[in-house]
Structures are given as C-alpha cells and as structure tokens.
Structure 1
Amino acid sequence: MKLTKPDVLIHDSILQLASDLDAISTIVEWFEQFNHTPVTHQLWLEAQTAVIEGFTNAVRHAHCYLNPETPVDINVQISEELFHVCIWDQGDIFDFELALENFHREVSDRAFNPLVHESHWGCIFLLKLRKEYGWTISYTRESGDRNCLSLKKPLIN
C-alpha cells in the first residue's frame, strides 16, 4: 500500500471583481504572483490567458444581462502537484461540454475561419488547452446561483 502525503497548498489566492472588462489589468497584475517555481513560465502563460478568457466570457456572456457590479470570483490554488483555477459567475446554466463539442467540429472543418467566430475565441482557446496542453476543464453549476469554470493542470508529469 502506497502512502501519499497530503497535497499542501503553496498558494491560495482569491480575487473578486465587478463585471467590467477594464478589470483585466487588475487580473494581469494580481496573476504575477504565480509566476515562479514550481510553475513553469509556459504553464503560467497558459493559465493567465485562460483566466483572462474565462473572466471575459463571464462578463460578456454569463453576466451580460446582470448588474455590472455582479461579482466574478477567481481563485488560484497551487500545490506541488497541481495548478487549479476556479472562476465563478452568476449567469444562467450553460452547457459547456456541448459548446466545446460544437466548436471542435467547427474548427476541424477545413473551411473554418476563426475571424468569423470572434465572440467564441474563448471557447476555442479552452478547447485547445484541453486537447493539446493537457488541461482538465469543466463548467458546472454550484450550489445556489453560481457556475464554476474549473481549470486544472498537473505540475508533475
């Protein structure tokens, strides 16, 4: 029987922002704290871009009909083994898996033109992270009226 040590958090940081795209500069500044070992620069860039895309999707899509003060919460947890980001919104329920499946079919078509799908670049990017970079990505309804975009990537191969 193999005993495993508990996964101790190196970082556990939460940022709450209003639903305003101007807050992206705050996210970029806040995210700098995670750019160090054991996180590689490549992983940090992938995660930072995913967080910006996730926040942008929450503001543009999930919160488009809500008060601009409706908060978006971002939580980053880093352990020796895992980089985990959660982005919570208060929008309607959304079938993320179906959207990714549809986009996968579209981007696989030779006639696909990404410029026609500008409003969906976030989903296309998240699909790429999942398929080509080994991220585990899900979007689920949490208790109450919140949705959670969860992005996970192991730090150890």
Structure 2
Amino acid sequence: RVSSDQLEISIWDEGLPFDFEGLLDSVDRQFSHPLEREAHWGGVLMRKLRQKHHWIIHYHCPDHPSTHRNRLYIQKVFS
C-alpha cells in the first residue's frame, strides 16, 4: 500500500517459521566482508533497511501450528 506519507509491504508465505530477529543479529557476525556471503542476502537487506534507512520491519509467525502463514511486514514512513 502506498500513500503520500508511507509505503507498506506485506509478504505472506507458508514456509516453516524461523527466528527472524536472530537471523538479523547473526548476519553481521558471520562474515566481516558481506560479498563473501553465499546465503541470507534477504537478512542483510532487511538489516540495512532497518538500521541505515529507518524502515519498520516485523516478522510474525502464527501462534497455532495449524495456521501456516507467516507475515513479513515492511513499512517506510516518508518525512
């Protein structure tokens, strides 16, 4: 959703839930040179958007195991 003051993106999937915050915390520790990375480029991108560009990013896993839809919510408020 786009408006004059913000951009909102929701990405839904049915994959296995994972520790999104743990992934973001680990991307900087794994390699001192980002170009050496072979995986988790999405985590690198999300961390940079959050830290350097002040995007709001949340990952939500369902509380009940029979609901298999996970949601990645990304928001940028324009100032």
Taking structure 1 as the reference length, the TM-score comes to: 0.44
SS in 2 for 1:93: coil
Alignment of 1:55-94 (within 5 A): 77-94=1-18
**Maintained 8 Å contact 1:91/1:145:** yes
Aligned-pair distance for 1:118? 2.2
Instruction: Choose between structure 1 and 2 for higher RCO, CA contacts under 8 A separated by at least 6 residues.
Output: 2
Distance in 2 (alpha carbons) for counterparts of 1:140 and 1:147: 6
Say whether 1:137 aligns with 2:60.
no
SS in 2 for 1:119: coil
Say whether 1:147 aligns with 2:70.
yes
Distance in 2 (alpha carbons) for counterparts of 1:131 and 1:120: 17
Larger radius of gyration: 1
Equivalences, count: 76
Say whether 1:99 aligns with 2:26.
no
**Which residue identity is paired with 1:102?**
S
Distance in 2 (alpha carbons) for counterparts of 1:146 and 1:124: 23
Aligned-pair distance for 1:116? 2.9
Distance in 2 (alpha carbons) for counterparts of 1:118 and 1:106: 11
1:10-36 Cα distance to aligned partner (Å, 9 max, x none): xxxxxxxxxxxxxxxxxxxxxxxxxxx
Identity rate, percent: 36
- Greater helix fraction, Structure 1 or Structure 2: 1
Distance in 1 (alpha carbons) for counterparts of 2:9 and 2:62: 15
Aligned-pair distance for 1:115? 3.2
Runs of at least 5 residues in structure 1 that lack an aligned partner in the other structure? 1-76
SS in 1 for 2:38: helix
**Maintained 8 Å contact 1:84/1:151:** yes
Aligned-pair distance for 1:120? 1.5
